[in-house]
Amino acid sequence: MNRYIYVLVILLLALPDLSKAQDTVPAALPAKWRLEDCIAYAKQKNITIASLRLSTISTQEDLLQARAAVLPNLNGSASQNLVNGKNNSSGAGGVQTQSNFSSSYGVNSSMILYNGGYLRNDIRVKELSVQSANLTLKETENDITLSIAQAFFNILLAKENITTLSSVLVTSKEQLQQGQQRFDAGSIARKDLLQFQSQVAGDEFNLINANNTFRLNTVTLKQLLLLPPDYDLQIAAPDTIRVREALPSLPEAQKLAQQERPEMQNGQLQVQISEIEIEKARAAAKPSVSVGAGLATGYSDNQSAKYLAQLDNNFYQTLGVTLGIPIYSRRVNKTNINKSKILWQQSQLNLADTRNILNNQVEQAYVNLLNAQERYTAAETQLRTNEEIYRITNEQLRLGAVTTVELLLQKNAYVQALQTFTQAKYNAALYNKIYQFYMGMPVSF
């Protein structure tokens, strides 16, 4: 019993430390996430990116191995042998069983002096492969960055919609209160009062939908960041949303994208790699020269000399040069050369395809940005007009110059214009970031 009491006391004493350890997990995360924080965190935690980092490390190991291939190798060997057999013995008058113990020791080394440039070209391929792996990692980081930016902007849009619809609901409730007072005074019919009540219910429904959209967009961002489901993600809204900025022309943007984007650089590297692979394939059809050397000795108990003396007597050294000349490989070398040339042609086609896709993406981003800016300008004018009309109509209602139906119709037009404007503002800001991102600029506020 005393033992269990002792264990219980230890656990109770450890509980404060355990709670502190649990508190350190969320403490390491930002209280409010900026867009830059989300992107940096996703690059660290994303599983695909982590896997590509391992692939990059693997290509670095391949490079180290390729560089070491030009060095001489060194191998040692040692063997102990016991042979038991039957020999004819004239002295014993028959067959005699005899055992023999022997040992052998050796060290040998070899080095390739010339192999048609294969090793040199293999090192170059591995160097370019490391660069290609890093560029592939950058491509994936770019994809993650755009996904994070899209999700972040959706949350900002949803938050502003909540603010807008909350304000609209407050106004609706005030109008309902005024309508109730006028109904009690007998200045409006019950139908008008019901319309005010219906308007409040509709605004409450719209606010609920806006909150649901905000929660769904938050879940999307949390999933992209691989945050736990119970984590309370709070984002930091920027002070200003830049919608209109001086932007380069489409040809200039496409030129910058061709220079800066990792997919283009990676495609160019693949062309270089395929060119060197042709030289590697040709090297197999060329003569090769290698040098080898070895040291060896041995011992056997069927000799009269002692162990150390035998090792000295049996010690010998070898040094040799080997010339290998491929004469006929049953078309293996020629096939490898031809297939390497095909891969080189394919890499050029892939590069051209990547260039076209990138140009199309930049052009699409440019068109989306122009359309978004035009919609923003139109939505801004529409909002300003509907806001003023709604303000005038509200004043006219107080004077009894318009009906309740006219007011509610104008209010709906104003709310719709407000939501259209908010959507247009964030779309223009997002497409602006995307267009700049294709030119190598970071996504940030």
The answer, yes or no, to whether residue 125 has pLDDT greater than 50, is yes
Res 320: pLDDT = 95
CA distance 13 to 289: 73
Q: 116's torsion region: left (phi>0), alpha (psi -120 to 50) or beta?
A: left
Q: How far is CA 184 from CA 180, 324, 401, in A?
A: 6, 110, 20
Q: Give the Cα separation of 286 and 325 in Å (integer).
A: 7
pLDDT at 5 over 60: no
For residue 394, the model assigns a pLDDT of: 82
Average pLDDT over residues 392-407: 82
| pTM for this predicted structure | 0.84
**pLDDT-derived band of residue 323, with 50, 70 and 90 as boundaries?**
very high
In the structure, what pLDDT confidence band is assigned to residue 16 with cuts at 50, 70 and 90?
Answer: very low
Give the DSSP H/E element, type plus range, for residue 105.
Answer: strand 94-114
- The predicted-structure confidence for 252-262, as pLDDT tens digits, reads as follows 999 999 999 99
The pLDDT of residue 74 is 95
- Both tokens assigned to 141: 């980081």
Please name every residue paired with 100 in a beta bridge, in sequence order, or none if there are none: 83
Kindly provide the b/e burial profile for residues 384-402, where b requires at least 16 CB atoms within 10 angstroms of the residue's own CB: eebeeebeebbeebeeeeb
Q: State the pLDDT at residue 44.
A: 92
What is the rounded CA–CA span in Å between residue 404 and residue 407?
A: 5
Query: For residue range 209-232, what is the model confidence (pLDDT) as tens digits?
Result: 999 999 999 999 999 999 998 999
Distances (CA, A) of 284 to 63, 277, 335, 445: 20, 11, 11, 56
For residue 318, give both structure tokens: 């070898």
pLDDT in tens, 228-254: 989 999 999 888 888 877 788 999 999
> C-alpha 340: how far from its chain's center?
30
- Report the distance separating Cα 320 and Cα 108, nearest Å: 11
pLDDT of residue 88: 64
The token pair that represents 436 in the structure block: 């700049």
pLDDT at 298: 93
pLDDT in tens, 53-106: 999 999 999 999 999 999 999 999 999 998 886 766 655 556 667 778 889 999
The residue among 214, 219, 216, 173 whose CA lies nearest residue 196 is 173
d(CA 109, CA 71): 10
Residue 145, pLDDT above cutoff 70: yes
Model confidence at 22, pLDDT cuts 50, 70, 90, reads very low
Distances (CA, A) of 43 to 37, 58, 143: 10, 19, 11
Q: State the average pLDDT for the chain.
A: 88
Q: How far apart are CA 252 and CA 258, in angstroms?
A: 10
| Cα 359 to Cα 257: distance, rounded to the nearest angstrom | 8
pLDDT at residue 21 tops 50: no
CA torsion angle 305 307 308 309 (round to 10): 10
Give me the mean pLDDT over the 333-353 stretch.
Answer: 96
Nearest one of 299, 294, 295, 301 to 311, comparing CA atoms: 299
Question: What's the pLDDT at 92?
Answer: 52
Q: Is 80 exceeded by the pLDDT of residue 398?
A: no
pLDDT, position 131? 97
pLDDT at 93: 55
- The stretch 415-437 carries a mean pLDDT of 93
Give the residue among 40, 65, 44 at the shortest CA–CA distance from 53.
44
Half-sphere exposure of 250 (CA within 13 A, CB side): 13
The Cβ of residue 187 has, within 10 Å, a number of other Cβ atoms equal to: 11
Torsion sign (Cα): 26, 27, 33, 34: negative
| Of the listed ranges 24-28, 87-91, 290-294, the one predicted with least confidence | 24-28
Classify residue 421 by burial, with Cβ atoms within 10 Å: 0-12, 13-18, 19+.
Answer: buried
Tell me how far CA of residue 7 lies from CA of 4, 10, 17, 271, in angstroms. Answer: 5, 5, 16, 67
State the pLDDT confidence band at 15, using cuts at 50, 70 and 90. very low
Mean pLDDT along residues 408-433: 92
Query: pLDDT tens-digit profile of 109-120?
Result: 999 999 999 999
Sign of torsion over alpha carbons 38, 39, 43, 44: negative
Domains of the chain, first to last: 29-69+115-286+326-438 (1.20.1600.10)
